[in-house]
Amino acid sequence: MEVTIDVASPEAGVIQKFVAKEGDTVEPGTKIAVISKSAEGVAHVAPSEEASEKAASPPSPTAEKIEEKQKPKVETAPITEKRKAPSPQPPKRSATEPQLPPKERERRVPMTRLRKRVATRLKDSQNTFAMLTTFNEVDMTNLMKLRSDYKDAFVEKHGVKLGLMSGFVKAAVSGLQNQPIVNAVIDGDDIIYRDYIDISVAVGTPKGLVVPVIRNAEKMNFAEIEKEINTLAKKAIDGSLSIDEMAGGSFTISNGGVYGSLLSTPIINPPQSAILGMHSIVTRPMVVGGDIVPRPMMYIALTYDHRLIDGREAVFFLRRIKDVVEDPRRLLLDI
C-alpha cells in the first residue's frame, strides 16, 4: 500500500487484516487495518489519527479536536481519504501540485469543462506517447502563386475562397498514403492500419481548442476540402459542433501560423500517432540557383509517436509535405 503521508501504527505489531478494501474511499477516522500484537489484543488503525498527530502541535486531548485540526490530506493508492472542504471550497489538487496562497489583485476562476477535458487529454498524450518532433521548411512561392492565379475563378465556380489549408490537407493525404504507418495507431500489442484518412483540423475558439474532423479526405478535391473546413470552422466558433463531428480522426493539422507562431512542437491528439504543425510565412533570403533571393518560407513540424514511427518514416513523410506544397503539380501527375 502506497500513501502520500505515512500512516504509522499506534502500537508495534503485525497487520492481521485490512478493514478497507482496495479502491475504497474512506472518511477521516475510519479504521483501515487491524494490527495484532504477539499474544495480545488487536489495535485498530485509522488514517486520520496518525496524520493528525503529525499535523497538529501540540496535540489536542480529544478526538473531536484532532479531527477539526486535521489539515493534511492522506491518500492511499488505491485507498484514498476524503476531507471536509473548507468554505469557500478550493479546487482539488494532486499530491504534487502546491496550493497557492491567495494574493491581492488575483482572481480564481474555475476551469471550464472543455478546458479540463483538453488538459486531461494532452497530459494523457504526454504520459502515453514517446513523442519526438522533426522539422523542415517549405518555400510557399508556388502554392501562393497558384492561389493568386486562380482565386477569382475558384470563388466563381465553387463559391468558396481558395486557401492554403486545402493545399496542406492534400499534401498530408499524399504523405499518409506514401507512409501509411503515420496513419496507423498502437492498440495494445497490435498495430491498427487505417485504410481511410480522416484529418482533424485544430481550431482555436474563445472557449478553447477543438478539433473537428474532415472525413475521407483522400476522396475530396480542393473545393470540397475548403467547403468542409469553412463549415466546421463556423460551427466551432459559434459552438454548434456535434460530438460526432469531433470524434475520431487519424491525423491532425494545427496551424499556429494564423496567430503568428514561427516555430513550435505540437502535441499529439490521442489516439492518433502524429500531428503536423504549420507556422507563419516569413520572407527570408534563400539561395536559389546560386543566387540569393527573397522567398516566403514556412517552418513545418511533425510530432510523432516514436514507439510506432521511426525517424526514417517521419522524415520521409515531412519531405513529402515539402515536395507537394513546393510543387503542387506533383498531385496532378501523382509523382
The 10s digit of each residue's pLDDT in 241-270 is: 888 999 889 999 999 998 899 999 999 998
**Does residue 218 register a pLDDT over 70?**
yes
Assign 61 a pLDDT band (cuts: 50, 70, 90). Answer: very low
Q: What is the pTM of this model?
A: 0.67
Buried b (16+ CB within 10 A) or exposed e, 267-292: bbbebbbbbbbbbbbeeeeeeeeeee
Out of 158, 306, 323, 327, which one is annotated catalytic? 306
User: Residue 194: left if φ>0, alpha if ψ -120 to 50, beta else—which one?
Assistant: beta
Residue 141: which of 277, 322, 3 has the closest Cα?
322
Assign 333 a pLDDT band (cuts: 50, 70, 90). Answer: confident
Out of 124, 149, 152, 310, which one is annotated catalytic? 310
Region of poorest pLDDT, from 92-101, 123-132, 212-221, 271-280 = 92-101
What three-state secondary structure class fits 16?
strand
Q: 14 vs 67, which has greater pLDDT?
A: 14
Known catalytic residue at 306: yes
Predicted pLDDT of residue 216? 96
Share of the chain above pLDDT 90, in %: 51
Does domain 117-333 fall under CATH 3.50.50.60? My reply is no
CATH 3.30.559.10 in the chain, residue ranges: 117-333
Predicted pLDDT of residue 109? 86
DSSP state of 94: -
SS3 letters across 44-79: EECHHHHHHHHHCCCCCCCHHHHHHHCCCCCEEECC
Buried b (16+ CB within 10 A) or exposed e, 120-130: ebeeebeeebe
Predicted pLDDT of residue 56? 44
Assign 94 a pLDDT band (cuts: 50, 70, 90). Answer: low
Distance CA(214)–CA(24), nearest Å, equals 43
Q: 122 vs 218, which has greater pLDDT?
A: 218
Predicted pLDDT of residue 157? 95
What is the CB-side half-sphere exposure of residue 253 using CA atoms within 13 A?
A: 28
Known catalytic residue at 310: yes
C-alpha cell at 51: 496524520
Distance CA(15)–CA(33), nearest Å, equals 7
